[in-house]
């Protein structure tokens, strides 16, 4: 192999984004505080850019502007470290539903809390009986990572609760090709009964 070819291959390995494009964005959703309808969410952003703009959607299936950020109690971020303690990162609010995150070159954990007690098929609700989520109402995304594969895991569920969703599942983790597919997949969690049926199309 020539020196010139070896250098070209090295540059491709260092700068080509193909490998990075497959690193998933991960969400961890805690349902521990059911009595107070509080959902704690962690968005895990992989290493890459130093700056990201974060967005909580202002839209949903009703084709109208809906302000989900009014249900957010707080938001903070820290760097990803091996000991999981992290270093606080700077978040600047750009508008009620958008923030600028800086210092995330080595990855970041974005943590926030949502109040979820809006029942119905276009809502998001957590209580002692069940949880139902239109995920666009509770999941913040990094604008530049929106087309990355996404994973979501629900934690602190009662032992009797099950999860129903069209998302693909691998163990306790649900996966989507990107953010849009993720939030187009409603989630019902609870001690529901399951029945099979046949229907003619």
Count of H helices and E strands in the chain? Answer: 2, 16
- Over residues 119-145, the mean pLDDT reads 94
Q: What residues have CB less than 8 Å from 75, skipping those under 6 apart?
A: 91, 99, 110, 111, 112, 140
Give me the domain span that covers residue 101.
20-190
CB atoms near residue 201 (< 10 Å) = 2
Query: Are residues 79 and 104 in contact, defined by beta-carbon separation less than 8 angstroms?
Result: yes
pLDDT surpassing 60 at residue 19: no
pLDDT surpassing 90 at residue 62: no
161 exposed, middle or buried (CB, 10 Å; 0-12, 13-18, 19+)?
middle
pLDDT value at position 66?
Answer: 82
CATH number at residue 59: 2.60.40.3650
Report how far residue 22's alpha carbon sits from residue 65's, in angstroms, rounded to the nearest whole number.
Answer: 31
At 8, is the secondary structure helix, strand, or coil?
helix
pLDDT value at position 61?
Answer: 59
Question: Is residue 162 a part of any domain in this protein?
Answer: yes
Number of structural domains the chain divides into: 1
- Choose among 187, 140, 189: nearest CA to 162: 189
Both tokens assigned to 115: 């109040």
pLDDT tens per residue, range 138-168: 999 999 999 999 999 999 999 999 999 999 9
**How sure is the predictor about 2, in pLDDT bands with cuts at 50, 70 and 90?**
low
Strands 150-155 and 25-33: parallel
pLDDT value at position 193?
Answer: 82
pLDDT value at position 83?
Answer: 67
Question: Is residue 40 a part of any domain in this protein?
Answer: yes
Question: Is residue 4 a part of any domain in this protein?
Answer: no
Question: Is residue 13 a part of any domain in this protein?
Answer: no
Q: What is the per-residue DSSP string for 63-101?
A: SS---GGGGEEEEEEEE--TTS---B-EEEEEETTEEEE
**How sure is the predictor about 9, in pLDDT bands with cuts at 50, 70 and 90?**
very low
pLDDT value at position 5?
Answer: 45
Q: What is the per-residue DSSP string for 145-178?
A: GTTS-EEEEEES--TT-EEE-SSEEETTEEEESS
Both tokens assigned to 188: 């019902």
pLDDT surpassing 80 at residue 31: yes
Question: Is residue 130 a part of any domain in this protein?
Answer: yes
Q: Which residue has the higher pLDDT, 76 or 198?
A: 76
Question: Is residue 197 a part of any domain in this protein?
Answer: no
- Over residues 114-139, the mean pLDDT reads 94
Question: Is residue 196 a part of any domain in this protein?
Answer: no
pLDDT value at position 18?
Answer: 41
How high does pLDDT run on average in the chain?
88
- Choose among 15, 37, 26: nearest CA to 141: 26
Question: Is residue 12 a part of any domain in this protein?
Answer: no
pLDDT value at position 7?
Answer: 52
């Amino acid at each position: 192999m020539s020196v010139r070819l070896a250098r070209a291959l090295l540059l491709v390995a260092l700068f080509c984004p193909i490998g990075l494009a497959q690193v998933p964005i991960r969400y961890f959703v805690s349902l521990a505080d059911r009595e107070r309808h509080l959902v704690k969410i962690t968005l895990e952003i992989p290493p890459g850019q130093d700056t990201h703009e974060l967005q909580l959607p202002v839209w949903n299936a009703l084709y109208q502007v809906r302000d989900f950020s009014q249900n957010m109690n707080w938001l903070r971020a820290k760097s990803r470290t091996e000991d999981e303690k992290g270093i606080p990162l700077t978040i600047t609010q750009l508008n009620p539903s958008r923030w600028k995150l800086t210092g995330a070159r080595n990855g970041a954990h974005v943590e926030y809390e949502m109040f979820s007690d809006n029942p119905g098929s276009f809502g998001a609700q957590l209580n002692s009986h069940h949880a139902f989520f239109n995920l666009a109402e509770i999941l913040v995304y990094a604008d530049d990572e929106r087309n990355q594969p996404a994973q979501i895991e629900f934690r602190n569920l009662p032992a009797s609760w099950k999860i129903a969703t069209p998302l693909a599942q691998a163990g306790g983790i649900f996966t989507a090709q990107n953010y849009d597919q993720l939030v187009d997949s409603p989630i019902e969690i609870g001690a529901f009964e399951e029945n099979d049926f046949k229907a003619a199309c």
